[in-house]
Structure 1
């Protein structure tokens, strides 16, 4: 555990470090455990079980058995349980946020917002349970034809490391509301808040409806390809999404994928330079070190305001100061792991070697208190060209690439040249221009004079290699159902047409 036995964070960490299957805690079949290290301090957070293929088989079997009961629970009763889970998340928000801060490196204060988002999603989908509607089709007096929506069955959820408990709690809402059972694989880098969440909701759901398997690639491969898994949902990298798709193809199962992004922020000459600079910093999600697939990590700034925007960026970046993640005053956290930390440093070195102009950051903070953590300052490169790595590849770290533009057609071609298409932010006071640009950019989610925000009810998702499907909306709920058509031929001999009856 943590070095100090009386450290207050130690008392918050989950006591259960195993697998949660069929409403009970168990040890992995292999007996394997892995040690976790806090990315902000380098301190040990103890060990956690590592699930394997046999454990995945057991969890899927438990979820399959529970499905027969859960699908028959009335929608309003399922909604009642989801609202109870939402209340638990709110009541334990600070605890869950602190665990995530210690385990994944994001600032505790920012993670409190994750509790609001997760509980709001639980309430949102609880309120939509009566919207899983079919339709009737007129066939004449001799028959009745209608459709119904049914849950798929066992749904597996593979979660990323950037918002662990928010995704664990919030992303089970839609499948459970629709009547599916779930098996969740939390991020192997930061599973502790998901384990604590399972402790908190233990007993609320029938055994096997919610199952949790901390582990790595071995368990993920079973969860995506198993014959008894009806649907797979993943938030992760493009590479992981491709692997999941290949595995799921063996049994032809539906997928919901939110994958990577190399998102653009486009500023026109009429935009206010100070506001654009603030938007660039906020959209980069420096708070959680740029570890967000929706980060606007490419800035396309019109030449008329380019240098003014760069001049304001230092002030905008100053709001994000790396610090110990569990400290409430910290505004920017740590990179989740040494592997990711080294990868980000490689991108920074490559950008310098390729001729990009370093405007801010680029190194480890000088504060001695941060010496043992995986910290990188908010980093901004200017004069980035299309051939540079940071113009094309997702860094998933606090590295912002900015380039000037003069020719709109050429700029839009560069914006759309990457394989990703998740988000885009457009800054202009010209409404006509804003609409035209929103139409031209290849992205699934577009902000105009705003950045980074999500809105429940508004469909979030990408195009191209940024994913399949939409979340945070009615379409997400319906994605966890399948449509069945029923045709009933009425018996003519039993049909009576009474004419002239009083």
Structure 2
């Protein structure tokens, strides 16, 4: 059944799906090579959302050629003019926020209400980087009176963005902002599971940027591999899993291109004995991002709770998690959506089964919803396991689903060692009223982004990124803008002024 042909339901927002389903590059729409197409389905219903062009290596070549031509125009546009255009795009995003949110809701499964927040975030990132265009500064180096030496920053060229399924539109629009502000052309490969909002954005901004500056190539692994290895793509930015990051690094190594990688996380929430149990319980739920089914690299999916408040916190968890109930993502009242695909759904259920078989104590969730209206969707309720051993699968591997592991601790050094024992290092949330403990722990944990008495939130201007296998580089800050530039040094020798004094005439005696 095609969702576009289904009957409207009162109280449910109807998505306005994009009209164009082809590849967008060079300022125009193109069929995929061999007219290849793939089916897109809604994870909340299993209904078809129609077909979308499926790019291959030949399409990547064509898009890169168009992007290189666009880059040669865009790099010479005055930075303040580039900023003006980015602000226009930000306003377009705000004006169409509900429409874009509904597309993502039906396409990736997240509730439309929180997808409205994603549109706001994307617009804010566009405005933020528009405001930084004059900060692409070089430096001068003292050389004495005989020379001038200085550096300038130039855009790097064609930048490719390979993006995931958890926040499709926010990543397509917001994560393109820094690269565009710096003067680069951008090729976006939206998630294979949820490409529709990227195509709709291309429709909305068509004609605003020079042809070839913003390009959208829906596709799968073949397109991603072709992008990563392409000799005329100057830089690749990826948000995705660690295995995908490794594959992109390997492919990019052939052309020694720089990378910006935001990869997986198995992040810790640490609660000290003096923390308020209710605050901790609420933070555990908020940090898990249950609204979008825990599908976030930054989710704090391991909670280390001091043994003195451990059982108090666990007793509060069912009620706190009860605020997140799976439902139709297009209903503004829905507080928890669906997992993005059937494959991801089966993977999460497998992790839950393994936790049960390994002896973890189930606190809430753990079973698919009984509601018949949700039977065809990829719904899993908030699932919390206690008494988790650090060697269990759910404590070691990134699930990317609504499954939280809770562990008691009593000895700080041993707890820190366990927190740092995984290969990931993206975020960490610390809960305590002890300033010394907060500082000590923030320094000790191996993570790139640390909250104290806060969780989940991002702050524009604050560098976001991971350590270890959670990624390379920092985003959402000036450093991200500069990452899309290359520094060029210029040395000028100043010739000494030629003498203008006249030679005195000789007189014969």
Q: How big is each residue's C-alpha offset from its partner over 1:262-297, in whole Å with a ceiling of 9 and x where there is no partner?
A: 000000000000100000000000000000000000
Q: Which of residues 37, 43, 65 is equivalent to 1:39? A: 43
Which position in structure 2 is the counterpart of 1:106?
Answer: 110
Question: Would you say the 8 A contact 1:63–1:209 is kept in 2?
Answer: yes
Question: Does structure 1 residue 84 correspond to structure 2 residue 88?
Answer: yes
Which position in structure 2 is the counterpart of 1:4?
Answer: 5
Question: Would you say the 8 A contact 1:262–1:296 is kept in 2?
Answer: yes
Instruction: Tell me how far 1:493 sits from its aligned partner.
Output: 3.6
Output the CA distance in 1 between the equivalents of 2:52 and 2:4.
17
Q: Which of residues 219, 243, 247 is equivalent to 2:223? A: 219
Q: Which of residues 389, 397, 401 is equivalent to 2:401? A: 397
Instruction: Tell me how far 1:4 sits from its aligned partner.
Output: 3.2
Question: Would you say the 8 A contact 1:237–1:260 is kept in 2?
Answer: yes
Question: Would you say the 8 A contact 2:189–2:216 is kept in 1?
Answer: yes
Q: Which of residues 344, 348, 373 is equivalent to 1:369? A: 373
Output the CA distance in 2 between the equivalents of 1:496 and 1:146.
31
Which position in structure 2 is the counterpart of 1:487?
Answer: 491
Output the CA distance in 2 between the equivalents of 1:11 and 1:413.
48
Question: Does structure 1 residue 57 correspond to structure 2 residue 61?
Answer: yes
Greater shift after overlay, 28-37 or 463-472? 28-37
Output the CA distance in 1 between the equivalents of 2:379 and 2:499.
77
Instruction: Tell me how far 1:36 sits from its aligned partner.
Output: 1.1
User: Against the structure 1 CA distance between its residues 50 and 10, is the aligned structure 2 distance closer, same or farther, given a 3 Å change threshold?
Assistant: farther
Give the RMSD, CA atoms, in angstroms: 1.2
Instruction: Tell me how far 1:10 sits from its aligned partner.
Output: 6.3
**SS of aligned partner of 1:349:** helix
Output the CA distance in 2 between the equivalents of 1:234 and 1:18.
23
Using the size of structure 2 for normalisation, the TM-score is 0.96
Which position in structure 1 is the counterpart of 2:155?
Answer: 151
Output the CA distance in 2 between the equivalents of 1:9 and 1:206.
34
Question: Would you say the 8 A contact 2:15–2:106 is kept in 1?
Answer: no
Question: Does structure 1 residue 339 correspond to structure 2 residue 343?
Answer: yes
Q: Which of residues 382, 386, 389 is equivalent to 1:382? A: 386
Instruction: Tell me how far 1:87 sits from its aligned partner.
Output: 0.1
Q: Which of residues 414, 436, 449 is equivalent to 1:410? A: 414
Instruction: Tell me how far 1:5 sits from its aligned partner.
Output: 4.8
**SS of aligned partner of 1:310:** helix
Output the CA distance in 2 between the equivalents of 1:436 and 1:2.
53
Unaligned regions of 5+ residues in structure 1, if any?
A: 498-502
User: Against the structure 1 CA distance between its residues 309 and 10, is the aligned structure 2 distance closer, same or farther, given a 3 Å change threshold?
Assistant: closer
Question: Does structure 1 residue 473 correspond to structure 2 residue 490?
Answer: no
Instruction: Tell me how far 1:68 sits from its aligned partner.
Output: 1.0
Question: Does structure 1 residue 245 correspond to structure 2 residue 245?
Answer: no
Question: Would you say the 8 A contact 2:14–2:102 is kept in 1?
Answer: no
Output the CA distance in 2 between the equivalents of 1:285 and 1:401.
14
Which position in structure 2 is the counterpart of 1:184?
Answer: 188
Unaligned regions of 5+ residues in structure 2, if any?
A: 502-509
User: Against the structure 1 CA distance between its residues 273 and 496, is the aligned structure 2 distance closer, same or farther, given a 3 Å change threshold?
Assistant: farther
Q: Which of residues 430, 434, 437 is equivalent to 1:433? A: 437
**SS of aligned partner of 2:188:** strand
Using the size of structure 1 for normalisation, the TM-score is 0.98
Instruction: Tell me how far 1:9 sits from its aligned partner.
Output: 6.3
Output the CA distance in 1 between the equivalents of 2:483 and 2:77.
19
Question: Would you say the 8 A contact 2:147–2:491 is kept in 1?
Answer: yes
Which position in structure 1 is the counterpart of 2:286?
Answer: 282
Instruction: Tell me how far 1:2 sits from its aligned partner.
Output: 1.0
Output the CA distance in 2 between the equivalents of 1:163 and 1:495.
68
Question: Would you say the 8 A contact 1:106–1:332 is kept in 2?
Answer: yes
Q: How big is each residue's C-alpha offset from its partner over 1:208-259, in whole Å with a ceiling of 9 and x where there is no partner?
A: 0001000000110111111101000000000000000001110111100000
Following superposition of structure 1 onto structure 2, how do residues 263-274 of structure 1 map, counting pairs within 5 Å?
263-274=267-278
